[in-house]
Amino acid sequence: MFQALLLTQSDDRATHAAVQPLDEAQLPEGEVRVAVAHSTVNYKDALAITGKSPVVRSFPMVPGIDFAGSVVESADARFKPGDAVLLNGWGVGEVHWGGLAQQARVKADWLVPLPAAFTTHDAMAIGTAGYTAMLCVMALQDRGVTPDAGAVLVTGANGGVGSIAIALLSRLGFEVHASTGRANEAAHLKALGAAEVIDRATLSAPGKPLQKERWAAAVDSVGSHTLANVCASLKYGGTVAACGLAQGMDLPATVAPFILRGVTLAGVDSVYAPQARRVSAWDRLARELPREVLAANTGTIGLADAIGLAPRLLAGQVRGRVVVDVAA
C-alpha cells in the first residue's frame, strides 16, 4: 500500500481531491515501477486538482505531471532497480496516473536518468516549469538570439517558468526584463537576475498591432493579449518562445509583426518533446542553473498540502517553485 492524491468526479462533474491509500495492483500499466521521492505542483496540476479546466481525461486520476525517484522494478533493460530517474509530461496526471503519489508505474520511454548533479528534490525544484524554461532558452538560441541583440522580456516572471528563465538568461549574459503583476516581488526578481521589472498591466490589455520596438526576444508563458503585445513590441527579426496560456488561450494579434518586422513566434512544447531534446535540456540545467537559485526560489510541502496550494497557484499567489515531499 502507498499514499496518493486521488482525484474523483461526482455525478455533477465536480472534482474531488483527497489523499488516500492505494494498492500497488491499482497502478496503471507500464514497464517501470518507481518509488517516487518528490513531485511538484505546476499550473496544469492546479487546474486538475481544482477542476477549473478539463485537464484530466479520465477518473479516478492521480495528478502530477512531474516526479523524481528511484526504480523499484523494471521490465526494460535501460533501467534497473535503484536507478535515479525523473519524468516530465507524456500525459501523466492527465491520461495516466502521475507523480503526486508514493509510487508510479510508467512507460520506460518516458523516463530520463536523473543527472548526477541533482537530488530528487533539486529535480522537482526545477520540474516541468524549469525544464520548459530551458527549452525556451534553447529555442531562442536555436534562432540566433544572442546577448548583444538587446534585452529579453520574460512574462509571468514570478511563476515557475518565468523565474527559472530569468535565472538562466541572466547567467548567459542577457539583459532580462521581467513582467509581473506583483510589484512587491521586484527585489526577488532582481536577485534572480532581472535588470528591469515592469508592470504586467502594460501588456495585458488590447494594444496596437505594431508598437515601439523594445525587446530582441521574449519568453512568454501568459498568452492572449500579453503575447500579442509582446509580438508587437519585438525588435526587427526578434523571436518569442511561447509556452503557456495563464492569461488565455486566444491570440488577438495581427500578422503585422511577422510580415513587417520579421518576428518569429516559436512554440515550445514540453509534454511530448523528443527524448534527445529532453536529455539535452536537463544536461544544460545541471551545468548552467546555480544551486543557490533553487534554494531561494523553492518551497517544500507535504502531499496533502498540494490540495490547498492549487487554488492559490491559479490565483497567482505562489512565488517560484513548490516541491512536494510525497512521504510527508
Tell whether the model's pLDDT for residue 267 goes beyond 90. yes
Q: Tens digit of pLDDT for each residue in 64-118?
A: 999 999 999 999 999 999 999 999 999 999 999 999 999 999 999 999 999 999 9
CA distances (Å), origin 260, targets 167, 235, 240, 257:
32, 11, 16, 5
Tell whether the model's pLDDT for residue 53 goes beyond 90. no
Provide the pairing of β-strand 84-88 with 112-113: antiparallel
Which pLDDT band, with edges at 50, 70 and 90, does 284 fall under?
very high
* Position 12, amino acid: D
CA distances (Å), origin 8, targets 43, 60, 61, 91, 160:
19, 5, 7, 17, 27
What span, in angstroms and rounded, lies between the C-alpha atoms of 40 and 303? 9
Residue 293 has what pLDDT? 85
Report how far Cα 232 is from the mean position of its chain's Cα atoms. 25
- C-beta neighbour count of 18 within 10 angstroms: 11
Tell whether the model's pLDDT for residue 295 goes beyond 90. no
Domains of the chain in sequence order: 2-114+293-325 (3.90.180.10), 128-267 (3.40.50.720)
If we measure between CA atoms, which residue out of 118, 131, 154 comes closest to residue 65? 131
Provide the pairing of β-strand 32-40 with 321-325: antiparallel
* Position 86, amino acid: L
